[in-house]
Amino acid sequence: MHILVCVKQVPDTTEIKMDPITNTMDRSTAPTIINPFDAHAVEEAVQIKKQMGGKVSIISMGPPQAQEVIKKCIEMGADEGYLLSDRAFAGSDTLSTSYILAMGIKKVMDKDPIDLVFCGKQAIDGDTAQVGPGIACRLGMPQLTYVEDIESFDLERNVVVLHRKIDNGYEVVQSKLPCLITVEKDINELSFSPLTNMIKAARYKPIAWGINDFESDLSQLGLKGSPTSVRRIFPPAQRAGGELLEGSEDKVVKTLVDKLKGGILQWQI
């Protein structure tokens, strides 16, 4: 089975510091990491490979530094990686990003057919969850988003059965292969990488593709191919602070209960 995983290098949003005066992000302080949901997608692909055999390929779009996340995936057990990097790709929104990634995936498929495409359910910098469905649409594959468990494969019938999270539980879905799956974190636990993988990763250089490696429609790339644009950036509204209850624990507990008890009876289930 050949599984291709789409990964993104993201700033660790929990570490972003804001400049309180200019309200701008200080990107230099935020380390870059593999998008956490994508790490679970890689893990799932590697686990399936261990059970069923085959190959795990990685694809990422980003600046040259994004090769670091591909190396991270090699460390996790992936076999090869492709980095789509070109100035022409810069400024792409989700529509244009899915075009570029789909173009890259098709090129991989041309030499080595793909059974499954994996993505994280969303990236923690944009949080849009749009690129996965976008790629599926462009490749003409069924899309299965928010997957929290892969139940079974039936290779004779060429289908997969999986659990897709919905708002009040999950649905059990069967899909023909090839298909595109976006994963939740609870699909697996990340495992530790063996030393041999780390050594391989340290030396690994991903295959780099730029604009000249494709016959692409330039109008669909980068800023030009992006229907959305940012009109304005502003700091989130701050909720006004309230009252700090002071005194002994017994005293503050009593004060709080007195303040709230009237409302609570109305709000109870």
Site for another protein, residues 93 to 122, rule: CB under 8 A: 93-95, 98, 122
> Does residue 19 interact with another protein by CB under 8 A?
no
CB of 53 within 8 A of CB of 1? yes
177 in Cβ contact with 159 (< 8 Å): yes
If the CB atoms of residues 54 and 133 are measured against another protein, the closer one turns out to be 133
Shortest distance, position 201 Cβ to another protein, whole Å: 25
Residues in contact with 190: Cβ distance below 8 Å, sequence separation at least 6, in sequence order? 39, 40, 43, 76
Question: 195 or 237: whose CB is closer to another protein?
Answer: 237
Rule CB under 8 A: is residue 22 a binding residue for another protein? no
Residue closer to another protein (CB basis): 215 or 250: 250
Give CA–CA dist 194/200, Å, rounded: 10
CB of 212 to another protein, least distance (A): 24
Give the DSSP per-residue string, 73-121: HHHHT--EEEEE--GGGTT--HHHHHHHHHHHHHHHHHHS--SEEEEES
Among the listed residues 62, 104, 134, 222, the single contact to another protein using CB under 8 A: 134
Among residues 176, 193, 210, 217, the one that binds another protein under rule CB under 8 A: 176
**At a CB cut-off of 8 Å and minimum separation 6, what does 91 contact?**
222, 223, 226
Positions in 68-97 near another protein (CB under 8 A): 93-95
Q: Which of 62, 134, 54 is CA-nearest to residue 94?
A: 134
Nearer to another protein, 74 or 221 (CB): 221
222 binds another protein (CB under 8 A): no
Position among 61, 77, 138, 222 found at the interface with another protein (CB under 8 A): 138
Nearest 5°: phi and psi at 9?
-85, 125
For another protein, which is the closer residue by CB, 81 or 222? 222
Here the tokens at position 171 are 């649905």
Stretch that binds another protein, among 38-46, 78-86, 165-173, 195-203 (CB under 8 A): 165-173
Quickly tell me which residue has 């003409």 as its tokens. 140
Pick the closest to residue 59 from 42, 76, 75 (CA basis): 42
Candidate segments 60-68, 82-90, 209-217, 229-237, binder of another protein by CB under 8 A:
229-237
Out of 1, 124, 208, 211, point to the residue binding another protein (CB under 8 A). Answer: 124
Query: What letter represents residue 201's amino acid?
Result: A
Q: Between residues 50 and 259, which has the closer beta carbon with respect to another protein?
A: 259
